[in-house]
């Protein structure tokens, strides 16, 4: 038997958390993809680093994009559900989809954020390269900011995952 549909206030709260997640992930994505160093060390050598030179940041990018795609889909579903009173996926399927979707997305965002934090912390300790210390510091601080925004996105998705677990139809 399908559980009773969640009340309007629950749906609004879920929508707020999803929009907050999406905004955090979008800002994180923009910050991450525009993060680079390109500086002349001397007249011959240019020091170049982009976010995709660091594997931890690449993984963060992948999880952020997947998280955004899922969150956008869920925002569309919630708006449809609020405006029409029906759900796009009928019956138990909708609750099961929310449950597994929130669970997997929250794991992805948690691991993406953890990987980026760990790599940034380790790179901060590496030996400074003369002439570009400030640029590297700025680059890594932006890395921390991206990881923190993904962490906020994770916290929101984890809360939504708790809600969707309580809404799950009983089968065991």
Per CB under 8 A, contacts with its own copies among 29-88 are 54-56, 59
How near is the Cβ of 172 to its own copies at its closest, in Å?
A: 4
The residue among 122 and 137 lying less far from its own copies, judged by its C-beta, is 122
CA distance 28 to 154: 12
CA distance 57 to 21: 19
Interface residue with its own copies among 103, 135, 145, 148 (CB under 8 A) is 103
Interface residue with its own copies among 68, 115, 132, 160 (CB under 8 A) is 115
Piece of 25-33, 65-73, 133-141, 156-164 that binds its own copies (CB under 8 A)? 156-164
Name the H helices within the chain. Answer: 8-33, 55-84, 93-124, 133-166
Three-class secondary structure of residue 50 per DSSP: strand
- Kindly give, in sequence order, each residue whose CB lies less than 8 Å from that of residue 97, ignoring residues fewer than 6 positions away: 89
Contact 105, 71 (CB under 8 A): yes
Instruction: Establish if 117 lies at the interface with its own copies (CB under 8 A).
Output: yes
Site residues, its own copies (CB under 8 A): 3, 6, 10, 54-56, 59, 99, 103, 106-107, 110-119, 121-123, 126, 158, 161-163, 165-168, 170-172
């Amino acid at each position: 038997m399908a559980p009773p549909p969640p009340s309007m206030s629950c749906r609004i709260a879920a929508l707020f958390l999803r929009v907050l997640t999406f905004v955090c992930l979008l800002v994180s994505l923009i910050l991450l993809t525009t993060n680079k160093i390109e500086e002349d060390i001397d007249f011959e050598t240019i020091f170049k680093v982009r976010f995709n030179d660091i594997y931890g940041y690449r993984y963060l990018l992948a999880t952020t994009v997947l998280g955004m795609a899922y969150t956008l889909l869920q925002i569309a579903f919630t708006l449809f559900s609020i405006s029409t009173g029906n759900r796009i996926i009928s019956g138990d399927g909708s609750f099961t989809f929310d449950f597994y979707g929130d669970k997997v997305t929250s794991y992805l965002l948690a691991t993406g954020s953890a990987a980026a934090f760990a790599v940034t912390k380790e790179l901060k300790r590496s030996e400074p390269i003369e002439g570009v210390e400030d640029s590297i510091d700025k680059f890594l601080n932006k890395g921390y900011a991206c990881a923190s925004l993904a962490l906020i996105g994770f916290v929101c998705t984890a809360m939504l995952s708790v809600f969707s677990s309580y809404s799950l139809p009983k089968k065991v």
